[in-house]
Amino acid sequence: MDIEDLAHSSSSYNAASRQDPLATRAGPLVAEGLEQMSERRYNEKCGVFGVFNVEKASHTCYYGLVGLQHRGQEGSGMVTGDILPELKSGMGKEFDIHKGMGLVTDTFTPEVLNTLKGNCAVGHTRYSTAGGKTQLAGYQPFAVRYALGNLALAHNGNLSNFNELRTFFEHHGVLMQTSVDSELFLHLISHSKRRSQIDQIFDAMTQAEGAFSCVVMTDESMICVRDPNGFRPLVLGKLPKRGVNGTDGFCVASETCALDLCKAEYVRDVEPGEMIVINFKSVKSGTFASLHLPNKFGVSQCIFEYVYFARPDSMVFGDYVTKVRRAHGRQLAREHPVPEVGEGELPPVVIPVPDSATHATIGFVEESVRLGRACIQDLGFFRNPYVGRSFIAPSQEYRDLKVRCKFNPLTHVCKDRVVVLLDDSIVRGTTARQLIGLVRSAGAKEVHFRVASPPVTDPCFFGMDFPSKGELLFNQHHGDIPSMAAWLGVKTMGYLSANGLVESTIEASGARYGFCRACFTGVYPVPVNAEEPTPLAANVPENIFTKR
């Protein structure tokens, strides 16, 4: 099928009166009042959510974003609008938008939600993965208007060809208005030579490399697209009989936990390299137009989604996170068993770092007992639920403070016991070292440390929050495990092996595709630009610009 057949014919559009500041005035994207570019950086690891054909879509989108709060607590945004079964020529329309810093519940009050009109919505939760200023103008979704109409976009991931594309646009006089790589999608779309919005969006996605799971809203359709590598998860859901005249509504989310909160039915994953177009033809037929981006580098889903980032009750990449994490724990028990204790002594108590290590700990203890290594599992900390994740706080100072505020050790669990503290991963070591200190202060006889993933040795350029090699604990100690154990304050330390991670993941999930392990191996599945921008790249597609 020719992708131009998928788009509706062009109509005349009235300029939207309530738009994002990143709004075009004429021709290519031209904007004002935005964050000034002070440094080059990569984008953020975040969550995206989209709603199509649902009354008061902003309310459904709100609950979807609440379900994705763990994927970003720095800020959130939402764009809403009406997509009607038949767009009449000359009909005036507008997209409403609201963004704010902090939690979704703080940003979207009932009063704000009631100002966000329409039966369709795109939402985004964010945290930044690199330094730099926190500017509201760089928050997503972006909403713009250009020659072919309105456009709203939310993006999860990082573009690995960010430097080439940005340098190319700057060389051609395009004004870059934010330090966010997601802005490049807008310029790629607006400068495409294709004749319809659907085709322009497809064209733009073929020119992007790296990690991108996107939700795009136009005047006529909602589009969800996942990069050919499939780095980040993206799932499709159905909202039965919640649309116009009792028709079905649809939603798309980074994880299935967001679908659950909205009482949506899981339909399927968006496949790696797939672009799905949802419109009222889809509502009538129950099918979707599905296009496929060219695959240059194969499929490499981020295995760290299973290790840490995805919510335990979610299903990502086709299987449940809890199931995979328990498999990691079982494999860790085989590779690094619990320490033996003397005759007559109490068995070791295995304590998970709350909350993401809980299921790996269950698997670890189950397998340890099966192998004849006596141990028990218990909860060793009270976790203050009103403090966010330390890993996603934007600076080290805030991370340290949050750990101290977040956890309090349970003395009756730790006192006079051999304690095995188990975490799903260790990056900088900030949380682990402080928690180990808390366990020791609670009277533990000795403390051991187990990690249900391999050492993080290299930066991620696809959206995770460890951008430099120098800040990684494993590299700071030159791979010396006893040195790390001494710094952490534990008697022994053991990591799950890289092979063990992959084998246990495949065994538990029955994965159809391969995984990206670059943060553990330094082998990247696509080319990356780790340092300064390169000169104009020869591989930048010639069709990136429209001659005007």
Other C-beta atoms closer than 10 Å to the C-beta of 170 total 14
Q: What are the two backbone dihedrals, phi and then psi, of residue 519, each rounded to the nearest 5 degrees? A: -70, -20
Residue 396's pLDDT band (cuts 50, 70, 90): low
The answer to the question of whether 61 is labelled as a binding residue is no
The answer to whether 400 is a known ligand-binding residue is no
In a domain? residue 27: no
- Nearest of 200, 230, 233 to residue 48 by alpha carbon: 233
Sequence-distant (6+) residues with CB within 8 A of 482 are none
pLDDT for 12 equals 27
* One domain, residues 291 and 311: no
Q: Which of 35-44, 86-95, 218-227, 395-404 has the lowest mean pLDDT?
A: 35-44
440 and 397 co-located in one domain: yes
Q: What is the pLDDT of residue 132?
A: 39
CB 224 within 8 A of CB 234: yes
Average pLDDT over residues 83-95: 65
pLDDT at 431: 82
302 known member of a binding site: yes
Judgement on whether residues 267 and 315 belong to the same structural domain of the protein: no
| 36 has a pLDDT exceeding 60 | no
Q: Phi first, then psi: give them for residue 435, nearest 5 degrees.
A: -65, -40
Note whether 277 and 321 are same-domain residues.
no
Please check whether residue 33 lies inside any domain of the structure: no
* Over residues 202-210, mean pLDDT: 95
User: Which of 14 and 57 is assigned the larger pLDDT?
Assistant: 57
Instruction: Retrieve residue 297's tokens.
Output: 């580098």
Shared domain check, 311 and 295 = no
**pLDDT, tens digit, 9 for 90 and up, residues 162-182:** 888 888 988 988 888 887 889
Distance of CA 269 to the CA centre of its chain: 15
In CATH, what number is assigned to the domain containing residue 491?
Answer: 3.40.50.2020
- 425's CB contacts (< 8 A; 6+ apart) are 304, 307, 308, 451, 452, 453, 456
As a whole number, mean pLDDT of residues 237-262 equals 95
Q: How high is the mean pLDDT of the chain?
A: 84
- What are the strands, taking DSSP E only, across 211-339? 213-218, 222-226, 235-239, 249-253, 265-269, 274-278, 289-292, 301-302, 315-316, 319-320
Residue 16 included in any domain: no
Same structural domain, 107 and 195: yes
Q: What is the extent of the structural domain holding 123?
A: 44-83+94-299
Per-residue confidence (pLDDT) for residue 538, from 0 to 100: 33
Residues 475 and 410 in one domain: yes
Query: Into how many domains does the chain fold?
Result: 2
List the single range of 1-15, 254-268, 315-329, 371-385 with lowest mean pLDDT: 1-15
Tokens 């767009």 found at: 87
Residue 394's pLDDT band (cuts 50, 70, 90): low
The answer to the question of residue 20 being in a domain is no
Q: How confident is the model at residue 392 (pLDDT cuts 50, 70, 90)?
A: low
pLDDT digits (tens, 9 = 90+) for 267-297: 999 999 999 999 999 888 888 999 999 998 9
- pLDDT at position 2: 38
283 and 421 housed in the same domain: no
pTM of the model as a whole: 0.84
Does residue 6 lie in a domain region? no
Do 282 and 326 sit in the same domain of this protein? no
Q: Is 423 annotated as contributing to ligand binding?
A: yes
User: Is residue 519 marked as binding?
Assistant: yes
Same domain, 361 and 500: yes
- 486-518 in b/e burial notation, b at 16+ Cβ within 10 A? ebbebebbbbbbbebbbebbeebbebeebbbbb
Residue 90 has pLDDT above 60, yes or no: no
Rounded to whole angstroms, the Cα distance separating 54 from 240 reads 10
Q: Are 440 and 489 in contact (CB under 8 A)?
A: yes
Verify whether residue 257 is a known catalytic residue. no
Beta-strand pair 213-218/222-226: antiparallel
Question: If you average pLDDT over residues 431-452, what whole number do you get?
Answer: 95
Q: Are residues 389 and 289 in the same domain?
A: no
pLDDT at residue 17 in the model:
31
Q: Considering 46, 224, 257, 262, which one is annotated as catalytic?
A: 46
Do 236 and 312 lie in a common domain? no
pLDDT band at 15 (very low <50, low <70, confident <90, very high): very low
